[in-house]
Structure 1
Amino acid sequence: MSEQQDTSCLGSLIEENRLALYQLQAFLERLTPDLYRYAFGPTGRQSLGKHVRHILDHYDALLAGAVAGSIDYENRQRDERLETEPELAVVRVAEISAALPGLEAQRSATLRLRYPVEGASDSLALATSLPRELAFLTSHTVHHMALLGMMAESLGVDLPEHFGVHPSTLRHWQRQTEEISQERRETA
């Protein structure tokens, strides 16, 4: 893919992320604080809130890194209030969603991704691009939303339609539906 094609998809990638965040916000609005903080697993280290905070940390790292020219997902803010206060998480999701279109101004920025390697004296500085990082965040977010969905369902929480389903899967399902419809029209 050429550099021009690479950045031409930026708006679509931003919108994919905003859609995931919209779904996350709708999910959060259904949760009580007790459900949000509920401790899962034998050690109690997992909660809906911890996964949400993790997702939001990654967006914060991208937004800060896009301006600075260096993205570091390893050294995140980790605001623990986002793990325990669902109403604060809802506000932060809305803020991030509103900030994402501003990345258009960084369309041609040269970006580096800081990535620590065990045993190395310093982190690697990998060349990356805004579209690549937005594609990563879509997958990362939807992956954690799928985990959130499984956890929430075990607590009896109803999920928004297609919650935790990657856009590529939704496109696949759409193509399958269209193919079935076409086959039915041809055999009718």
Structure 2
Amino acid sequence: MSHDSTAVLAIDLGGLVAENRQVLDQLCRFLAGLSAAAYGRPLDPGGRQSLGKHVRHIIDHYEALLAAVPGGRLDYEHRPREAWPERCPREARRRLEAIAAALEVLGDCPGRLTLAYPLEGGGLRHLDTSLGRELAFLTSHSIHHMALLGLLAEGLGVALPESFGIHPSTLRHWASQAPRASA
């Protein structure tokens, strides 16, 4: 029995897109309950930490992937780092919703990408990667930042759902263990 590689890619991307959508939806719900003051408030003496900076960082990475899809060249290093999504939760939410919508059409895109990876001392490596691999990376990368967001938000007194910042694979594991625990 032969497999159609296009169909396999679409199935694999569908699951990865769904996980990323789940993460982006969590972020959107988080942003819906935040004031602009809490969102943009500096949380360290140097002003490098804020809820908005972490969300903007996540947005930048997704937008880098979406920009790379048509030409196949991916560069996470050279991001715009715009201040507006760091200060305005409504703008950040709008961007996250646009990213989520754009992810839905990735199944029609070629899967191969080349990642530009900068090295210490100014060197640059070009690494073969795939759309699927980068979607998996973005899920984990976003969850990592959401875990930090959760800690920062709790320090501000912002209540979060128990599942916020928990990787979808961990949520699946917890769900699979629940029937055993109640038996």
Paired residues in the alignment total: 179
2:111 corresponding residue in structure 1: 109
Match of 2:20 in 1: 17
CA deviation after TM superposition for structure 1 residue 174, in Å: 1.3
CA apart distance, 1:68: 1.6
Shift of 1:172: 1.4
Deviation per residue, 1:19-44 (Å, 9 max, x gap): 10000000001100110011112322
Structure 1 residue 3 displacement after superposition: 9.9
Give structure 1 stretches of 5+ with no counterpart: none
Shift of 1:77: 1.7
Match of residue 131 from structure 1: 132
CA displacement at 1:66 relative to structure 2: 1.3
Amino acid in structure 2 at the alignment position of 1:74: E
Q: Does the Cα contact within 8 Å between 2:10 and 2:107 map onto a contact in 1?
A: no
TM-score scaled by length of structure 1: 0.89
What is the letter of the counterpart of residue 26 of structure 2?
Answer: Q
* Aligned mates of 2:13, 2:96 — CA distance in 1: 20
Shift of 1:99: 0.6
Check conservation: 1:7, 1:131, Cα contact below 8 A: no
Q: Which amino acid aligns with 2:15?
A: S
Q: Which residue of 2 aligns with 1:144?
A: 145
Q: Which amino acid aligns with 2:140?
A: S
Code of the aligned partner of 1:112 = T
Identity score, percent: 53
**Unpaired segments ≥5 residues, structure 2:** none
TM-superposition CA deviations, 1:118-158 (whole Å, max 9, x none): 1254x211000111000000000111011101100111111
Query: Residue 94 of structure 2: SS of its match in structure 1?
Result: helix
> What SS is found at the alignment partner of 2:158?
coil
Asked if the contact 1:115–1:126 (Cα under 8 Å) also holds between the matched residues in 2, the reply is yes
Match of residue 160 from structure 2: 159
- 1:34 partnered with 2:10: no
How does the TM-score come out when normalised to structure 2? 0.92
> For the aligned residues, what is the CA RMSD?
1.7
Write the distance in 2 (CA, Å) between the matches of 1:33 and 1:41: 17
Q: CA deviation at 1:65?
A: 0.6
Contact 1:61 1:73 in 2 (8 A): yes
Contact 1:117 1:124 in 2 (8 A): yes
Name the structure 2 match of 1:119. 121
Amino acid paired to 1:52:
V
Amino acid in structure 2 at the alignment position of 1:94: E
